[in-house]
Amino acid sequence: MHKKKFFLGFIGFIGFWGFQYFASRDIADLCYFAFFSYFAYFWFAKIKIEIQDERYLEDVQKAKAFAFDIALYEILALFLLTIFFTWFQQLLILGISLCYASLVLIYAIKLYMLEEK
């Protein structure tokens, strides 16, 4: 991956603006937590791939399967929590943002681990 992509990882620090919610109580501030997914570029930049061979494509499939299984459990837990806490709209927005960020981060970390072994 290009060196420029490494610097995209610093956009992940925008995710800390999500903590403004505790001061402003504006629900839209919770969406900033999704920016944590940009930290995945730090792991993508460490993977040195010149040519995408069969092993790399197989590792991509394994990493996607692992990450999407975790995301499925997160969405199921979020769904069950919103059933019990129907009045808690902030939980839903926060959960969706964190689920998206964790999906991308887990995929990047798992792909890096598979490529480095």
- Average pLDDT score over residue span 7-32: 90
Q: Chain-wide mean pLDDT for the chain?
A: 87
Residue-number span of the structural domain to which 93 is assigned: 3-116
pLDDT computed for residue 4 by the predictor = 66
pLDDT computed for residue 69 by the predictor = 93
At 86, give phi and psi (nearest 5°).
Answer: -65, -25
- pTM of the complete model: 0.80
Note the pLDDT tens digit of each residue in 83-111: 887 777 778 888 889 899 999 999 999 99
| Assigned token pair, 62 | 């394994």
Note the pLDDT tens digit of each residue in 23-77: 998 888 988 999 999 999 888 888 877 778 898 899 999 999 999 999 999 989 9
Q: How many domains does the chain have?
A: 1
Flag whether pLDDT at 116 surpasses 90. no
